[in-house]
Chains A and B, each alone.
Chain A
Amino acid sequence: MASHANRPARGARASRRVAVAIAAGCCVLGLGALPTAQAAKPANSTSSSAVSGEATVAPHGKHAERAVQAESVPAAPAIAPAPAPPPGEPPIAAHGRHGRAIQPAPGPPPGAGAGAGTGPGLGLRRLDREPPLARGHRHQEGAARGETSSAPGSQAAAVSADESRQGAEALARKHKGKGKERGGGKEKGGKEESKESVSPTPVLKIGKGKEASTVALSQETAGPSATAASLSSSAASPVAGTGPASITSVAPVAKAIAAAGVHTQRATRNARHRVAAHAPGSPTTVATAPVALLAPSSGSGAKASAAARAAVKHTQTSAAQPALVKTITRIVGVVPIPVRILIAALVALALALAGRSRLSGVRARRLARQRGQLLEDVGLLQAALLPVPPVRLGPVATSVAYRPADGPGAGGDFYDVFALDDGRLAVIVGDVSGHGREALPHTALVRFTVRAYLEAGLAPRNALQTAGSVLERQLAGSFATVVAAIYHPRERTLTYASAGHPPPVVLGDGDGADGSLEAIELTTACSAPPIGAGMRTGTRETVISVPGPARLCFHTDGVTEARIEGDLFGAERLVGALGDLGREATARALLDSVAERTDARPDDMAACLLRVENGAGSPAIVHELLELDRAAVASGRAERFLRESGMTAVAAAGVIDSARAELDLRDSALLELSLGDGPPHVELAHDNVIHAAALTAVGAR
């Protein structure tokens, strides 16, 4: 038997160490007495270690203190139910939290045991009272077990001895020898913690004196005994009618039963059944009384049981953790704290960066989508402002092109080419001051206003004059340069008027015999100011005859103001570019050529090219119409105009004198200059009646 007892003892010792270690760890972690169940898990023998672990640790845990204070018992010993799970189920540790504890008022610690932190009081913890459920007692005896009449233990013995005498006692007797042996062991255990575990199932350990012993009752055997003990202690001994003496005498039996621990579950269950069945009279009373007595304090017995089971499950799962996790946990355990912090910081950083990267990606995709939509919108606006004209209108081949500025100056240029009645062709090219989005509405406004007047039948000069007076208020500070022209195919003339805009380049393609190019020298003096500049515009109109093949190039100042070798591209180079491109050139080819030749293009470039075919002869100015005011005459501009138009100084002076006389009477005079084969012919008319009528017609001013 000794060998039998020794083997489990070794196992119990080893297990206890583990249990204590884990329990201590858990205590440190503030988990209180929870962990002991872990150690109790493996099998029967380990349950003792669980108990011992609990016994050692629990008093330190808050749960031990939380134990329900039961009726005070003068005796100090504490009895707590130890986990006694049925085989196959992990033993349940006695948790202060889950199990109920009846803890009689702590008596004076005769010597605080190793684990009797909270005092050597009688602590009874029950996990469950239902028969099949595991119950265990932790029995801490700060005082001696015998004479100090540790009520629980003795009463358990009483129950075992008295009530279950017919059943359990037989078993007890059967193992009495062992029990005595065990008792002897316990005597030793009084000095040092009892390490013997007689059975693979729970062990009853009793501490004595300073050394606290833990009483671990066999799973099932302990159950009734413990219950009985607790009941007895609660109900006080009178119920069982056992006095201290009997208790004392019986206690060893109970201990023996517990210590023997060889009886199987079945045996235990039988014993208990017998206790229940064969306990008529007082035993029954005793059996029932405890239940009643305990009922109030064990109201949440079921709950406690459930909780205990949960705890077991938890233990199982934690124990069933994969080896990998355990390994990792072990590795993490040896990593120094600073390194851990560093790793955590790095992980956090990586996560933050990953999130940021993802966010950036999402944003980039959204921006790209929006950009596509914007470009589409801009394309639509562009199409509205820069229409695609018919390639051929009567005898004239047309082409248009637009090229945005390289820099921030984009926007503002516009053109339009459309047919009028009688086969005439109208061209509008303009540029609104300001750039970008703000120029767009003005661009559209000017273009459609001028177009409307042209379509209404006004001559280019009158159209600009009227538009100028109408748009002056609407342009709100910005101004627009516009050139409006009408090509008359039957008369083969081009009539144009400019409002501060560069005049068209008129290039006669000639016979092609010598390949020479002749561009008409257009008079720039007395050009009309832009629309919106606060001055009267549409003051001049020029009629050019185009008898033979020619190219008429309307453009914006972006073309002539492109930079080439630190200088402006200029009209002369434009003529050169046109000549180089040949007769079949298009506006697009022209702008590409200009862009190729120049170093920088700070402004938009727009071009409208009309190619007049058939016929013969070179283009020439045939008619000039100029509205004069006193300032133009006084500043000498009128005279310069006349001189540039080919008049002699004397003739020009004579005309100026006449104009002055006219202007003394009126605010303006209309000078009509006819240029033909002969010398220039000048007619000075009164105020322009057509102009006045047009203004009246549109209701302006």
Chain B
Amino acid sequence: MLTTADTSSPEPFTGAFGIIQSQPDERTSVVALEGELDLGRAPSLKWALVDSVDAGYKQLVVDLTRVRFMDSTALSVLVGVNRSLDVGARLAIVCVNTNVLKIFELSGMDGAFAIFPTLDEALAHVRGHTARIG
């Protein structure tokens, strides 16, 4: 599902949002999001991640690179998924947007996630190749 941005719309809820799932290898699932990650879109994120976990993927990457902003609802989804991970499973977040990073920081959850500026670093982290940077 990938929608194009509709800038003419005054309703933020109708803003662009997309979610793309990919599996670089048999143990890794990448969920890439785009647009505004808010109350309305948080469920999509949740089910994408839950599906990946249920499918047996142990290495999860949430790519927020193209997310413009994120609210506390989406954050709570990430917190919930992070807490429900099995032993041995890893979750990494790719994020460079300062607005989104601010949300993590303000909520005190930046310490709970492994946040990387690039997808490669995140993948390396979930595959256990590198130490967490945060």
Contacts and interface: CB of A to CB of B under 8 A. Distances in A.
B83 interface: yes
B13 A602 contact: yes
A554 B66 CA distance: 31
B111 A635 contact: yes
Contacts of A481: 72, 107
Contacts of A602: 13, 38-40, 71
Contacts of B71: 557, 561, 568, 602-603
A524 B83 contact: no
Contacts of B80: 477
B12 interface: yes
Contacts of B99: 568
B20 interface: no
B84 to A, nearest CB: 9
Contact of A500 (B7, B83, B102, B109): B109
Contacts of B106: 500, 502-503, 524, 527
B134 interface: yes
Interface in B47-75: 69, 71-73
A534 B83 contact: yes
Contacts of B36: 566
A561 B13 CA distance: 12
Interface string A552-573: 0000010001010111100000
B79 interface: yes
Contacts of A477: 80, 83
A529 B112 contact: yes
B91 to A, nearest CB: 13
Interface string B103-124: 0011111111000000000000
A378 to B, nearest CB: 21
A632 interface: yes
A74 interface: no
Contacts of B108: 498-500, 526-530, 533, 535, 537, 539
Q: Specify the main secondary structure of chain B where it touches its partner.
A: loop
Nearest to B82: A534
Contacts of A526: 108
A637 interface: yes
A533 B39 contact: no
A567 B107 contact: no
Contacts of A110: none
Contacts of A407: 39
Given A431-B72, A561-B71, A561-B72, A529 B107 contact: yes
Q: Using C-beta atoms within 8 Å of the partner chain, give the interface range for chain A.
A: 35 or more
A530 B103 CA distance: 13
Contacts of A528: 108
Nearest to B13: A600
Nearest to A641: B105
A666 B1 CA distance: 49
Contacts of A568: 69, 71, 99
A499 to B, nearest CB: 7
Contacts of A566: 7, 12, 15, 36
A479 interface: yes
Nearest to A533: B79
Contacts of B38: 561, 602
Contact of A529 (B11, B109, B132, B133): B109
A539 B102 CA distance: 18
A102 to B, nearest CB: 94
Interface in B1-57: 7, 10-13, 15, 36, 38-40
Contacts of A499: 108
Interface in A349-398: none
A525 B105 contact: yes
B117 to A, nearest CB: 13
A637 B109 contact: no
Contacts of B130: none
Nearest to B76: A433
Nearest to A406: B13
A527 B83 contact: no
Interface string A622-635: 00000000011011
B107 A527 contact: yes
A424 to B, nearest CB: 25
B134 A533 contact: no
Given A524-B102, A524-B106, A600 B11 contact: yes
Nearest to A598: B12
Which of B99, B105, B107 has the most C-beta atoms of chain A within 10 angstroms of its own C-beta? Answer: B107
Contacts of B39: 407, 409, 602-603
A503 B108 CA distance: 11
A599 interface: yes
B131 to A, nearest CB: 9
A636 interface: yes
Contacts of A503: 106
Interface in A489-539: 498-503, 524-530, 533-535, 537, 539
Contacts of A537: 108
Nearest to B107: A500
Contact of B105 (A524, A533, A603, A634): A524
Given A431-B72, A524-B105, A599 B111 contact: no
Given A502-B106, A566-B12, A479 B79 contact: yes
B112 A533 contact: yes
Interface string A453-483: 0000000000000000000000001110100
18 contacts: A433-B73, A477-B83, A479-B76, A500-B106, A525-B105, A527-B105, A534-B79, A534-B83, A535-B108, A557-B72, A563-B12, A567-B12, A600-B12, A600-B13, A602-B13, A603-B71, A631-B134, A637-B110
Given A600-B12, A603-B39, A635-B133, 20 more contacts: A431-B72, A477-B80, A478-B76, A479-B79, A500-B107, A502-B106, A524-B102, A527-B107, A533-B83, A534-B112, A539-B108, A557-B71, A561-B71, A563-B12, A566-B36, A600-B11, A602-B38, A603-B71, A631-B111, A637-B111
List 10 A-B pairs, minimum CB-CB distance, nearest first: A635-B134, A563-B12, A529-B108, A527-B108, A500-B107, A433-B76, A602-B39, A528-B108, A561-B71, A500-B108
